[in-house]
Chain A
Amino acid sequence: MTDTKVTKVEEDSVQTVRGPENDTTYLPDVDIREDDGSIRVFADMPGVDQNTVSVTVEKNVLTVEGEARVDTPEGYRLVGQEYGVGRYRRDFTLSDAVDPDGIKARVRHGVLELTLPKREHVKTRKVEIEA
């Protein structure tokens, strides 16, 4: 049985970027997994919810963006900071294997989960062997 090697999601790198308003854009960490029918992308974007995330596809570039918000506790002073709060952005190049119209996205606990369905013809098909 031939196993079609599918080139998947490749990403264009976006390093930590300072925007024109001088706020920082972070690159979210991602896990990418593939099974027979789809490719799944999990992007860590703590502080975002479904209202502050956007997923767009233009030509074959998938762009994921988000904005984190923090409620500064009132009456308190910041005394230690290990992470910044700002925007997230990461771009991915989609191969032809992915059907961009079927992309599904959901956000839960600060993680954006994308399901990228593979086009029918690239799914591994079992070939029946005739007797």
Chain B
Amino acid sequence: MFELMRWPRSTWSVFDELEALQEDANRAFSGYGRRGRSWRRRGSYPLLNVWSSKEGVVLDAEMPGVDPKDVDISVMGDELTLRGRVNTAEPAEGETVHRRERPSGEFVRRLQLPFRADASGVKANYRNGVLRVSVPRSEEEKPKRIAIEAS
């Protein structure tokens, strides 16, 4: 398990801390049943998978059926925020809704990174319902090799 020690902060666990700052937009996500994806049990949307390297962080967010125009990605310092709306279209006139399991509403998800990001280098793409965001470390925060001078 990858852990990053940062003084005075404690070990960085990807989904730590900022869960408490989640806005309560998750109330909009109602649903029944015990089946389906764990976003409902977890209470956070979208679900994330995160990779890390000395270059920075790459995260995948599962957001099927979202219009990329409805998603806002912002990076400030060491914080990444995903904000947007999903499945907010009203049913059409004359349409009956029989089952509604998919998430719907507005969401905000914040992730604390173990480094300050180079905001200008953030890239994102949305493919097959997965948003991939890559966040590079700011130059000063990249590990540097220290040459040992011969004495």
Contacts and interface: CB of A to CB of B under 8 A. Distances in A.
Interface residues of B, number: 46
Interface string A103-130: 0000011110000000000000000000
Contacts, number: 132
Contacts of A32: 97-99
Contacts of A34: 95-96, 98
A53 B97 CA distance: 24
A46 B51 contact: no
A73 B128 contact: no
B98 A70 contact: no
Interface of B: 1-2, 13-15, 31, 35-39, 42, 44, 47-53, 55, 58, 60, 62-66, 87, 91-92, 94-103, 126, 128-130, 134
Contacts of A44: 37, 64-65, 102, 129
A45 interface: yes
B47 A36 contact: no
B129 A78 contact: no
B96 A35 contact: yes
A31 B2 contact: no
Contacts of B91: 33
Interface size class of A (residues with CB under 8 A): 35 or more
Interface of A: 8-9, 13, 15-16, 26-36, 39, 42, 44-49, 68, 70, 72-73, 75-83, 85, 108-111
A125 B61 CA distance: 45
B134 A73 contact: yes
A82 B47 contact: yes
Given A70-B60, A79-B14, A111-B64, 11 more contacts: A15-B35, A30-B101, A31-B99, A34-B96, A35-B95, A42-B65, A47-B62, A72-B51, A77-B2, A83-B62, A110-B65
